[in-house]
Amino acid sequence: MATRRETKWVYEFGGAKSDGDASMKNLLGGKGANLAEMASLGLPVPPGFTITTEVCTLFYELRKTYPDGLEAEVNAALKALEARTGKAFGDAANPLLVSVRSGGRASMPGMMDTVLNLGLNDETAEGLAVLSGDRRFAYDSYRRFIQMYSDVVLGVSQDVFEEIIDEYKESRDLIFDTDIGADGWLDVIGLYKAAVSRELGAPFPSDPRDQLWGAIGAVFSSWMNERAITYRRLHSIPESWGTAVNVQAMVFGNMGETSATGVAFTRDPSTGEKRFYGEYLVNAQGEDVVAGIRTPSTISKGRRIELKADEPSLEETMPGLYRELLEVAGRLEQHYRDMQDIEFTIERGKLYLLQTRSGKRTAQAALKLAVDMCGEGLISQEEAVLRLDPAQLDQLLHPTIAEDAVRDVFVKGLPASPGAAVGRIVFDSDEAAQLAASGQSVILVREETSPEDIHGMHAAKAIVTARGGMTSHAAVVARGMGRPCVCGAGGLKIDAAQGVVRSLGRELKRGDLVTVDGAMGQMLVGEVKMIEPSMAGEFASLMAWADKLRRMKVRTNADTPHDARTARRFGAEGIGLCRTEHMFFDADRIAVVREMILAVNERGRIAALEKLLPMQRGDFVELFKIMEDLPVTIRLLDPPLHEFLPHTDEDIAAVARATGLSPASLSARSKELAESNPMLGHRGCRLGITYPEIYDMQARAIFEAALEVAAATGKAPIPEIMIPLVATRRELELTRNRVVSMAERVFRERRAQLDYLVGTMIELPRAALVAGEIALEADFFSFGTNDLTQTALGVSRDDSARFLKTYEERGVYERDPFVTIDQDGVGELVRMGCTRGRAARPALKLGVCGEHGGDPASIAFFESAGLDYVSCSPFRVPVARLAAAHAALRTKR
């Protein structure tokens, strides 16, 4: 199939010039763009070339084949790479070896595939041995290549090769891989190749060009592997972005004691502190560090002393190279104006940079970095606000372990990702996901994690590994997810088959309760005392900047004094939804509510309502006192009556005692009121129209409470009375008139008055369609996007869990529409309601009070729709404040 030939598929980097730069991340991926940028800065980057993300898209469109002209461009880039390195691809005497790596525009650590040492075969391996003067290094590299290529490209399990090595070492009384010499690796290579032939029925490929195209295809294919799909779903990365492929000349960290490989961060990615941070391994390749196969040493001497580690730091073993790396790291941070995550290799005393990217960080670190870098003049307040992902705030708003807590330390490791969590021990990622889905809190305990564990890591409250360092897969992914993590807990002895883990003579079993303290690197026995988070310091500074930058107000959904106080502490600017029916479920009230509902006439209902009036008034007094002179939106009684109906003989008997009616008549009345589809039944304004005395009582309670608080405090509350489930103008007109009439009556009785508003919740498609008519009776609209989503999509929120996940996986919905608003459907109804409502009443106040009010992606949509405020649960208020600032800033750009 022919494609556009004018398109450039391959971009070179390194040497005198690079075809790309950092601005081309969408086309070259983050890795390719940054390699080109570093090369242009004159930094020591091994040369190579990048195959663009557009090729990945076409690779799938063309059913895993390549566009016309790609092969010619790759061949030309390979020839240029040979010229830059002075080596030849496939040449036995002077072989060029390359790495083949993925590189999406968003960092996805460990989720896609990599192949190192590509180009080795029997002849080029011997040539490498002669050139390097180190046969052991050459054949160690060759066996690594066979193992990695077979796993990534040919689909032969790593276990096959690990078993061969283990048996080889055991038969010769060897302990470590490093104990195997050159001749030993030659023996292992023969066993590897025989295993591949046995598994596949074909020999291991020896042609370097065949190897190259096999690796390129495998990297593109890894974009759609299960772990990458899971990671994209968890981090909202679109499938359409694709990955680039980077082909780069190899440099070797496994050429003896003057060679090394490592990962460095320009600041601490766990805390955000301004200190050089990282790990390295002598005589190793990069995969050894990130895969957690060996526990690496620290880069800096100070960190080694702090961790009481025995292995010398890079600063101590190679002080000149440490200083060079430190200088390069400083340049990169200044250039990118962000904390950098740098992969490096030292080959026989020469430093090379293999990657730089903005480092994954915890929420705590992201907050400190943003505020500190603003203070240092690196970034503006606007940039600082945009640096903190609103979703990360969840990590900052939950408890940590109290200083005076009793710590029964089971094991200590490296503090890989801060935070604290309590849960039950599991040893398997599938089990973690299953138990978490059933509502249990679990702690995933593993020897080490791999990309295949991504679903279990996401399900777990925290992760603990016996192996791996601060830059291992477990550490990097846990920080990105905001999970507490302890790595390199070498004292752990895990027997997953028996379901036990041992440390220092003690034993815990699967299902035992433990606490993980990621900041201290400890796993503690049992549940430990926690403390509430602090809202001061850097958090207060950044949120103050966010508040200055946002346009929309942020209110809270609160039905109780506790919720209202919590929300105010988190910066809520009023209540956007008080669900009055939630006030009636207490044991001392439910019987009175049932008495009211089951009453056979108005007189009986009024008698019950007179008992409820002082209770409701007292509720509103408390809320108004807490919110002072901020607006409080109170939704009048809304729920389906069946939620209050007595269902047991005991409940019916209680109502009978209160009313004097017989249990038989009450049972008959209960059956009479039962509905086939209560969600669309006798509820909301329909209840207020058929039984107007209910809304009369609630309106009286609101106005009496507001006047009482105004008189007592000197601060007049601003009640906003919301009529639910309105579909027609007449419904709102009838209920509004009753509320206004009650307000006038109470004001006359109390000889005082105050300002108030009457509006409605837009939660039915018809209400959005005729919003212009309804607005003539309304002072405000609040979009109830929970029910609006249900009624627009014809999907029950309570029952949708059975199929929504499948719908997301198959692309029916990009995201769960009850979490992130469906902009094309439900969102269009919101826009329509806003436009038509304000056309009829320009001063109409507009807000949202569904769960979407706390979702950052939905908040961005509400900003574009012109809403005045969002309302969300108390713990989401800071998230909404920051998301509203993000939305306002991005609208300006």
Catalytic residues: 473, 849
Alpha-carbon span 858 to 826, nearest angstrom:
11
Alpha-carbon span 606 to 702, nearest angstrom:
17
Is the CB of residue 720 less than 8 Å from the CB of residue 759?
yes
Is the CB of residue 724 less than 8 Å from the CB of residue 638?
yes
- The secondary structure of residue 153, as a DSSP letter, is I
How far, in whole angstroms, is CA 848 from its chain's centroid?
23
- Residue with the two structure tokens 């400890």: 522
- The secondary structure of residue 240, as a DSSP letter, is G
Alpha-carbon span 560 to 874, nearest angstrom:
11
Residue type, 602: E
Helix, strand or coil for residue 845? strand
How far, in whole angstroms, is CA 756 from its chain's centroid?
40
C-alpha count within 13 angstroms, C-beta hemisphere, residue 529: 6
Alpha-carbon span 267 to 336, nearest angstrom:
13
Residue type, 402: A
Burial class (CB in 10 A: 0-12, 13-18, 19+), 4: exposed
Is the CB of residue 9 less than 8 Å from the CB of residue 52?
yes
Alpha-carbon span 470 to 294, nearest angstrom:
12
CB atoms within 10 A of CB 5: 8
- The backbone torsions φ and ψ at residue 629, rounded to the nearest 5 degrees and listed phi first, read -100, 25
| DSSP letter string, 746-785 | HHHHHT-----EEEEEE-SHHHHHTHHHHGGG-SEEEE-H
Alpha-carbon span 111 to 228, nearest angstrom:
5
In this structure, the strands spanning 513-517 and 522-525 are antiparallel
Is the CB of residue 127 less than 8 Å from the CB of residue 93?
yes
Q: CA torsion angle for 123, 126, 130, 134 (degrees, to 10)?
A: 150
Is the CB of residue 104 less than 8 Å from the CB of residue 241?
yes
Alpha-carbon span 792 to 808, nearest angstrom:
18
Closest CA to 246 of 31, 57, 15, 9: 31
Is the CB of residue 444 less than 8 Å from the CB of residue 472?
no
Is the CB of residue 738 less than 8 Å from the CB of residue 699?
yes
C-alpha count within 13 angstroms, C-beta hemisphere, residue 705: 27
Report which secondary-structure segment, H or E, holds 458. helix 454-459
Alpha-carbon span 854 to 348, nearest angstrom:
54
Name the token pair of 95.
């072989």
Name the token pair of 374.
């603003």
Alpha-carbon span 95 to 82, nearest angstrom:
9
Alpha-carbon span 270 to 476, nearest angstrom:
10
Number of helical (H) and strand (E) elements in the chain, helices listed first: 35, 33
Is the CB of residue 857 less than 8 Å from the CB of residue 833?
no
Name the token pair of 881.
């404040």
- The backbone torsions φ and ψ at residue 485, rounded to the nearest 5 degrees and listed phi first, read -150, 135
Q: Which residues contact 225 (CB under 8 A, 6 or more apart)?
A: 111, 112, 113
